[in-house]
Amino acid sequence: MAERTKYTPGTFSWTDLSTTDQEGAKSFYGGLFGWDADDQPVGDGMTYSMMSIGGKPVAGISLQNEMQRQFGAPPAWNSYVTVESADDAANRAGKLSANVIAPPFDVMDVGRMAVIQDPQGAFFMVWEPKLHIGAGIVNQHGALSWNELATTDLDGSAEFYRELFGWDANPIEGMAFPYRVIQNGESSNGGMRPSQENEPTYWLVYFGTDDIDASLAKSDELGGTTLVGSMDIGMGKIAVLQDPQGAVFALFAGNFDD
């Protein structure tokens, strides 16, 4: 079990789901990963479901906001990157031709964040932690284990995030298709790959699993859809799924980093 009490700036530290059916999503992911839900009021009759394993937060689930509903945005998992200052990160992103969708704002007393769309179109969040550092557990069954960018411009994306967060995106040699591993300092911090035909530019969130075949069967039982079945990638196995509300996520089974 990889517990976390802090995150180095530039590290993926949290994920949450914006969905059209909060109770349905809680039931699906609770059944799939064994998550417990703690519904926390966030105003206007809304709640934010803090999902946990053994009392440690691993992800959040909430209803889509008004803007997402108005634009008919599909349910989606969101990727958060820890920064020292959300204001500085958002300002720098804007200067790098990103679209700052939601300028920096305080999330009560737990942190400060901004919503950004990179120049290629992928959405992500920057998170300046206060009381909430992010996930208390990563790299285990039911916990955040990887974040992967599908992009229409691999070189352009690599350069944008290098200038924004200081990431290096190092190519893996011998792959059947181009793939770059993101390095944040000395730590591997996700990957980048070219988007496939008709695939949007987006950040794909991976959760760990102890048994990928059992998780695929459980997802099917709970109403999920398998988009890409179990695939051996050498260091482990991956699969891509869609929950009953339509949000896409991935599974990883293999050797986890600490």
Q: For residue 258, what pLDDT is reported?
A: 63
State the pLDDT at residue 68. Answer: 78
- pLDDT at res. 71: 76
Q: What is the pLDDT of residue 234?
A: 80
CATH 3.10.180.10 domain residues, the chain: 2-129, 139-254
**The domain 2-129 belongs to what CATH superfamily?**
2,3-Dihydroxybiphenyl 1,2-Dioxygenase, domain 1 (3.10.180.10)
Please report the DSSP string for 96-164 in residue order: TT-EEEEEEEEETTTEEEEEEE-TTS-EEEEEEESS--S-SEESSBTSEEEEEEEES-HHHHHHHHHHH
How many CB atoms sit inside 10 A of residue 181's CB? Answer: 15
Decide if 139 contacts 235 (C-beta within 8 A): no
- Which residues of the chain are modeled with pLDDT < 50? none
Give how far the C-alpha of residue 194 lies from the chain's centroid of Cα atoms, to the nearest Å. 18
pTM for the model stands at: 0.96
Instruction: Determine the pLDDT at residue 66.
Output: 78
10 contacts: CB under 8 Å, gap ≥ 6: 81, 82, 83, 165, 166, 167, 184, 185, 189
Backbone angles phi, psi at 132, to 5 degrees: -110, 110
198 Cβ contact partners less than 8 Å away, ≥ 6 residues apart:
none
**Superfamily grouping for domain 139-254:** 2,3-Dihydroxybiphenyl 1,2-Dioxygenase, domain 1 (3.10.180.10)
Phi, psi of 95 (to 5 degrees): -70, -20
At 2 the pLDDT is 87
Could you write out the DSSP letters of every residue in 197-219? TTPPPEEEEEEE-S-HHHHHHHH
Q: What's the pLDDT score for residue 235?
A: 82
182/144 Cα distance (integer angstroms): 16
